[in-house]
Chain A
């Protein structure tokens, strides 16, 4: 489940790390002790934020232009980071970023527009939404212009997306004098060629993406950080960061050092929390009994907030009988989501109020009273039975069978390492067996294999992360995106047939004349008013058709300890999903007075 937290965090582009203190009290030389929720420590990994295992820590020694707020609806709400401010044209055609005037690297050099430009160049080698070499991709940057020493303008290509600002502000900035040499002298010329068509463009694309591995494996001799901390040393047990004297808001930073502890599994994090070692820790799945022990530790407090992620049961609609919405509705009527959530995720989940495609908190904001008009699918065996009979399913000797009388064996797939999903799947199968459906749980050895099996169409029914807000496009592309056949290639949306090009959900291209993939794609360009209308339409369609059954909405449960530091964001804070390093940048964290 640790990995699930990391994956969810990555999928939502939310950064979920935290910091914490050592056993000593706060004061001179106070150490803040935490864990990094997105990765385990690899002492051999390079000090390189482009490396997924890199010995760098977001919010501490890795800085983005800005930090996303945990807003229910607005994906473009940010706290300042290395960018002091920014402006965007109404259509987000151009974003102008103004850097912090006092920003300096830990070696004393100023942070300049050239650093931003070099960082964007390096981001192109890794690919991504705003920095992709695919011609015509929506929301791709078309031009990066250095306006002055501290101002950069980034222009969006012709195929617009309203996620452009968010993607630009999320850019991680690295020092050009350390990483810049990784870009060939003619890089920007090559990039311009890559945006064209033909063989030359293809060769240029290959040249740029070919740099990817070189960038990832680059190992600077030492950390050069523009963040509040700089890496001092790292060993297999922990990484130690010291205060960066050149940080632009150094007076806001309370601890002198940050210790990031390593862990091998959730159990180790639980033990850290029980022993009161951590000053704060990001979201970690915790059993109820362990949570009770954590709460008993002096100083430990829980912070809960909105987490734009939900767990769902997804169907491969090209496999019988799951192509029939009546069967999916019947299953929805048989699952007691409250009981299942109590078993699977009592501390970090709330039962889904219905299936809308959107996390309940955000659904209320998007749909208003419309949320109450959706079918909540309460437990109702009679309705389930009626739906199954309408779908032609037959009941023999108390067990439901396929229309031709052959046995119906419902297998729910989950990755074995996600303990909450395994427990949820088991609870669902128990409930379905109670109602005459022969259901069982099947596990895949790990999440990567699980996704591969999904993509290959080997799975009938499986768990699926959904509602990845706040961007409404991101929310609905989990249901009506590549996994369900809709792909955006070269600016054109096409629908792949079930079983091809990663379309494992196999839903119909249009439902009652509505093309949900097209509507989802339009969310990229729509005005806020139009987005609301589209979200309303998609929520109703999702509620009727149930390409997935929304099971439970995650709650961002974080842990803080007020023994050594205070000033934690309150429950529900927009800063709650950000690393504690960002809380420090915002001036929230203070040493506790003796």
Chain B
């Protein structure tokens, strides 16, 4: 084997080139996941919810069937989580409701992270007036109380879909990430490789996008998932309070109707109706936490247990 044939980056060589790097990366991911079965369980849970969100509303009819003689029916083989106040299968409601909840969470996470990262990078890299202006804007955003604002907004805006809901939650949630990214940027910009990039005369865009951003990718990726859980709690909470539009299969609406309409906290009849969406939220959060645990190790070599 000659020196030329073993140079890293050569296509077709093991571990070399972008394809090789990707292969190595995924091998590493596989190793990290296999090291703790709980992480595989986390991935399985997220895949399950993703499938529910994608295919759930397709599998079930647009108007879910009702059994007029089985209002608040107890769990059975036909209805594993019983039925709701009009005899609709609770499991079907949870499955078909997953799309709204998860889509809102994803939209919120994307907006939160994109906005927070962009502003944090620009503020931290440029410092000076940019930093001062953007951080005051961030401070302003952080001082806005999210829940009261949403309660007020709900009186004038019906939040007709998950995209609108996600947009609002995203616009209310980017402040923390912007501050954290700025701090990391301030630290990274003093490192040697950034100095070198500057010395080579590379453009600001190149330095920010190609040098700084990849260094923060793990942190950002984890924040995406954490933002999803935050968004799910926020929207389910708002629906539970009854300030958002009525969707009978929304998990928050289900909780609301189980407690206030079915008396789930006073009698057992509506308890399965209450527990089903709660279990879904718990499982989804658990899945995200387990995957974040895996990601932490994937992106942080110091945590790898060889």
Do A and B bind? yes
* Cβ A433 vs Cβ B257 within 8 A: no
Segment among A289-297, A529-537, A553-561 that sits at the interface with chain B: A289-297
CA A416 to CA B238, docked complex, whole Å? 12
Segment among A26-34, A118-126, A440-448 that sits at the interface with chain B: A440-448
* Known A-B contacts A423-B86, A430-B66, A445-B154; A286 and B263 likewise in contact (beta carbons under 8 Å): yes
Of B154, B242, B270, most buried by chain A (CB within 10 Å of CB) is B242
**Cβ-neighbour of A426 out of B242, B248, B263, B267 (below 8 A):** B248
List B residues 160-211 near A (Cβ within 8 Å): none
List B residues 230-285 near A (Cβ within 8 Å): 242-246, 248, 257, 259-263, 265-270
On chain A, the residues within 8 Å of B158 by CB distance are 442
On chain B, the residues within 8 Å of A443 by CB distance are 242, 244-246
B85 interface contact, C-beta 8 A: yes
On chain A, the residues within 8 Å of B86 by CB distance are 343, 423, 426-427, 430
A419 interface contact, C-beta 8 A: yes
CA A189 to CA B58, docked complex, whole Å? 75
List A residues 381-415 near B (Cβ within 8 Å): 414
**Cβ-neighbour of A442 out of B245, B259, B267 (below 8 A):** B245
* Cβ A287 vs Cβ B63 within 8 A: no
* Cβ B270 vs Cβ A289 within 8 A: yes
* Cβ B257 vs Cβ A422 within 8 A: yes
**Cβ-neighbour of A290 out of B151, B155, B266 (below 8 A):** B266
**Cβ-neighbour of A422 out of B71, B246, B259, B269 (below 8 A):** B246
A217 interface contact, C-beta 8 A: no
CA A270 to CA B71, docked complex, whole Å? 20
Of A289, A290, A342, A427, most buried by chain B (CB within 10 Å of CB) is A289
A434 interface contact, C-beta 8 A: yes
* Known A-B contacts A265-B260, A267-B260; A274 and B266 likewise in contact (beta carbons under 8 Å): yes
Chain B's closest residue to A416 (CB) is B242
A171 interface contact, C-beta 8 A: no
B72 interface contact, C-beta 8 A: yes
List A residues 439-459 near B (Cβ within 8 Å): 440-445, 449
CA A271 to CA B85, docked complex, whole Å? 21
Chain A's closest residue to B158 (CB) is A442
On chain A, the residues within 8 Å of B248 by CB distance are 426, 441
* Cβ A267 vs Cβ B259 within 8 A: yes
A85 interface contact, C-beta 8 A: no
How many residues of B are counted as interface, with CB atoms below 8 angstroms from the partner's CB atoms? Answer: 29
* Cβ A289 vs Cβ B63 within 8 A: no
A266 interface contact, C-beta 8 A: yes
**Cβ-neighbour of A445 out of B66, B151, B263, B267 (below 8 A):** B151
* Cβ A422 vs Cβ B261 within 8 A: yes
B68 interface contact, C-beta 8 A: yes
* Known A-B contacts A422-B246, A443-B245, A449-B155; A343 and B266 likewise in contact (beta carbons under 8 Å): no
* Cβ B63 vs Cβ A434 within 8 A: yes
* Cβ B63 vs Cβ A342 within 8 A: no
CA A290 to CA B66, docked complex, whole Å? 22
A339 interface contact, C-beta 8 A: yes
A417 interface contact, C-beta 8 A: yes
- A452 → B minimal CB distance (Å): 9
List B residues 60-102 near A (Cβ within 8 Å): 63, 66, 68, 71-72, 85-86
**Cβ-neighbour of B85 out of A290, A423, A433, A445 (below 8 A):** A423
Task: Classify the secondary structure of B's interface with A.
Answer: loop
- A41 → B minimal CB distance (Å): 21
- B122 → A minimal CB distance (Å): 37
CA A416 to CA B244, docked complex, whole Å? 8
CA A77 to CA B242, docked complex, whole Å? 40
* Cβ A416 vs Cβ B243 within 8 A: yes
CA A578 to CA B293, docked complex, whole Å? 62
- B50 → A minimal CB distance (Å): 26
Chain A's closest residue to B263 (CB) is A290
* Known A-B contacts A265-B260, A423-B261; A417 and B266 likewise in contact (beta carbons under 8 Å): no
- A273 → B minimal CB distance (Å): 9
* Cβ A342 vs Cβ B71 within 8 A: yes
Of B63, B66, B85, most buried by chain A (CB within 10 Å of CB) is B85
CA A440 to CA B158, docked complex, whole Å? 14
* Cβ A445 vs Cβ B155 within 8 A: yes
* Known A-B contacts A427-B86, A433-B63, A449-B155; A287 and B242 likewise in contact (beta carbons under 8 Å): no
**Cβ-neighbour of B267 out of A287, A339, A414 (below 8 A):** A287
Chain A's closest residue to B71 (CB) is A343
* Known A-B contacts A423-B85, A430-B63, A443-B242; A289 and B262 likewise in contact (beta carbons under 8 Å): yes
On chain A, the residues within 8 Å of B85 by CB distance are 343, 423, 426
Chain A's closest residue to B242 (CB) is A416
On chain A, the residues within 8 Å of B261 by CB distance are 287, 419-420, 422-423
On chain A, the residues within 8 Å of B245 by CB distance are 442-443
List A residues 459-496 near B (Cβ within 8 Å): none
List A residues 274-292 near B (Cβ within 8 Å): 274, 286-290, 292
**Cβ-neighbour of A339 out of B68, B257, B268 (below 8 A):** B68
CA A430 to CA B262, docked complex, whole Å? 18
CA A444 to CA B68, docked complex, whole Å? 27
On chain A, the residues within 8 Å of B243 by CB distance are 416, 445
CA A266 to CA B260, docked complex, whole Å? 7
List A residues 532-579 near B (Cβ within 8 Å): none
CA A267 to CA B68, docked complex, whole Å? 25
* Known A-B contacts A433-B63, A442-B246; A287 and B155 likewise in contact (beta carbons under 8 Å): no
On chain B, the residues within 8 Å of A292 by CB distance are 267
CA A274 to CA B86, docked complex, whole Å? 25
List B residues 207-222 near A (Cβ within 8 Å): none
CA A286 to CA B263, docked complex, whole Å? 8
CA A426 to CA B158, docked complex, whole Å? 18
Of A292, A339, A342, A426, most buried by chain B (CB within 10 Å of CB) is A426
Of B248, B266, B270, most buried by chain A (CB within 10 Å of CB) is B266
CA A265 to CA B263, docked complex, whole Å? 11
- A254 → B minimal CB distance (Å): 30
On chain A, the residues within 8 Å of B270 by CB distance are 287, 289
* Known A-B contacts A267-B259, A426-B86, A427-B86; A289 and B72 likewise in contact (beta carbons under 8 Å): yes
- A313 → B minimal CB distance (Å): 16
* Cβ A445 vs Cβ B266 within 8 A: no
* Cβ A419 vs Cβ B246 within 8 A: no
On chain A, the residues within 8 Å of B246 by CB distance are 414, 416, 422, 425-426, 440-443
A selection of 23 A-B contacts at a CB cut-off of 8 Å is A267-B266, A287-B263, A287-B270, A288-B72, A288-B269, A289-B72, A289-B263, A289-B268, A289-B270, A290-B266, A339-B68, A416-B242, A417-B242, A422-B257, A422-B261, A423-B261, A426-B246, A430-B66, A434-B63, A440-B246, A442-B245, A445-B155, A449-B155
- In addition to A289-B269, A430-B63, 5 A-B residue pairs with Cβ atoms within 8 Å of each other are A267-B259, A289-B270, A443-B242, A443-B245, A445-B151
Residues on A lying within 8 angstroms of B by beta carbon are 1, 265-267, 270-271, 274, 286-290, 292-293, 339, 342-343, 414, 416-417, 419-420, 422-423, 425-427, 430, 433-434, 440-445, 449
**7 closest pairs, A vs B, by CB?**
A289-B269, A416-B242, A290-B263, A289-B267, A419-B261, A441-B246, A287-B263
